[in-house]
Amino acid sequence: MIDSPEVIPETLRDRDQWVCWREEKRDGKPTKIPVTPGAGGFASATASETWASFEAALDYSETEHADGIGFVFTDDDPIVGVDLDDCRDPETGDVDDAALDIIERLDSYTEVSPSGTGYHVLITGALPEGRNRRGSVELYDTARFFTVTGDHVEWTPTRVARRQDALTAIHREYVQDTERDTASEFEQRGGVDDESPTTDAVDVNVDVDLEDEDLLEKARNASNGEKFERLWNGNTVGYDSQSEADMALCCLLAFWTGGDRTQMEQLFRQSGLMREKWDEVHYADGSTYGEKTIERAIATTSEFYDPDAGDDAADPHGVPDGVATGGTPGDADRSRAYLAEKNRLLSERVDELEATLEQKTERIETLEAEIERLTDELTARDGETVQSHKEDSGTAGETGDDSEPASLLHRFFGGQSE
């Protein structure tokens, strides 16, 4: 039973993609079986006739025939669900590092799963191709349903946010990354994992040896200097959240410092993005938000500034220099593929923004029409009220004003004889 259904984002509630579920034993294990709201038969994540509105599902979930409600993912919506299992202590609420990292980076509506031992994160975006599950992390965007509890994690947003960049990175790091598998297998064999992808990246540290002022001047004069300057001044326009802007600036700093964590830390603290959250402990290992952001930035930066090469214009996330200037045929193919994919993503983003703008414009026009209607109605009512007062005032002049004094005189003198 959901105590506060209004906490569930309207983006989800407005879609008729809801089912109920009940728990049954299958092969000795508790399994959540989808149920058609109202009818009670088995529902299917691929049969829309077995789905219903949010209200219908909610009503049926309060009967003895269902234990809860669920949202169905389809190809016709942009909703992606991130399922994090066995990562939360239901008694203490403690969360493991990996789950906390994913939740913070996605920065969207998150709730505790029915068991209390996991989380469900809902975002909008396009699920990258490839596998969608590894270990306790699962990603879904079609032909599945998510149980929805309404047990919102209060420090996460109340809306389903678009997080394409974060989704792509998380898919790569936690689901698709074969190096992470290798490290995990190494741990299982009893090895000491000193060479995880993150550790390797953090230990890069190219010897750049630039003073802060010299480094900042080079960064500002580079081909992406405007981007650097905006972020340095605290401008987060173009980013879905400040956390993404923090990461973007840290990636640029990683490039220019050669992955020097100490210098990155010093520089970021001078930037307009610096805030109290930077020093807050957000991870079970005692790491702060800032420390993890720097660590991830170094891990995801593929190139570092080389003073000997004299290239002050490279972008840590741009096309590699060898490819951009014409390397091997294979490099050229990769360059074209990279640019084609980047253009595709940008085109999709533009289309989405235009669609959103159109929807908001329509909404504004609807609201303006409603305001005009209400204004006219209020004006008409005011006119009726004024007229009513005039009429009442005229009646009082004819009867009440004359009769009241006469009545008072009669009561005063009526009992006395002449």
Q: What is the pLDDT of residues 284-322, one digit of tens each?
A: 667 788 998 998 888 877 788 877 665 444 444 443 333
Higher pLDDT pick, 188 / 145: 145
Query: Are residues 150 and 68 part of one domain?
Result: yes
Provide the pLDDT for residue 2: 87
Q: Are 102 and 123 in contact (CB under 8 A)?
A: no
83 in Cβ contact with 116 (< 8 Å): no
60 within domain boundaries: yes
| 127 and 15 assigned to the same domain | yes
Q: What is the pTM of this model?
A: 0.48
Q: At 369, which helix (H) or strand (E)?
A: helix 329-395
In terms of domains, do 314 and 335 share one? no
Asked which of 120, 143, 176 is the last residue of a domain, the reply is 176
Short-list 196, 79, 222, CA closest to 148: 79
Written as one letter, the residue type at 418 is E
Asked if 41 and 172 sit in the same domain, the reply is yes
Q: How far apart are CA 344 and CA 228, in angstroms?
A: 24
* 410 within some domain: no
pLDDT of residue 329: 42
Domain annotation covers residue 347: yes
Q: 273: domain range?
A: 196-318
> Distance (Å, rounded) from C-alpha 334 to C-alpha 316?
17
Q: What is the DSSP letter of 127?
A: P
Query: Which of 293, 318, 343 finishes a domain?
Result: 318
CB 17 within 8 Å of CB 72: yes
Q: Does residue 147 fall inside a structural domain?
A: yes
Give me the mean pLDDT over the 380-404 stretch: 65
Residue 186 pLDDT greater than 60, yes or no = no
Domain assignment of residue 413, yes or no: no
Q: Residues 260, 202: contact at Cβ < 8 Å?
A: no
User: How many structural domains compose the chain?
Assistant: 3
**Tokens, residue 194:** 């000193």
Specify the amino acid at residue 137: V
Q: Contact, 97 vs 292, CB < 8 A?
A: no
Residue 405 covered by a domain: no
The answer on 311 and 379 residing in a single domain is no
Residues 170 and 141 in one domain: yes
Is the pLDDT reported for residue 80 higher than 60? yes
For residues 28 and 165, state if they share a domain. Answer: yes
The predicted-structure confidence for 188-236, as pLDDT tens digits, reads as follows 434 433 333 333 334 454 566 678 888 999 999 988 899 999 999 999 8
pLDDT of residue 344: 57
223: how many CB neighbours lie within 10 A of its CB?
Answer: 12
Whether residue 162 contacts residue 77, with contact meaning beta carbons closer than 8 Å, is answered with no
Residue 246 lies in a domain: yes
Same domain flag for 346 and 272 = no
Among 318, 346, 374, the domain boundary falls at: 318
29 and 122 share a domain?
Answer: yes
Asked if residues 31 and 114 have their Cβ atoms less than 8 Å apart, the reply is no
Question: Do 297 and 332 reside in the same domain of the chain?
Answer: no
136-160 burial, b for 16+ CB within 10 Å, e for fewer? bbbbbbeebbbbbbbbbbeebbeeb
Indicate if 201 and 268 belong to the same structural domain. Answer: yes
- H or E element at residue 20: strand 18-26
116 and 87 in a single domain? The answer is yes
CA 411/CA 405 separation, integer angstroms? 10
Residue pair 297/250 in contact by the 8 Å Cβ criterion? yes
N- to C-terminal Cα distance for the chain? Answer: 84
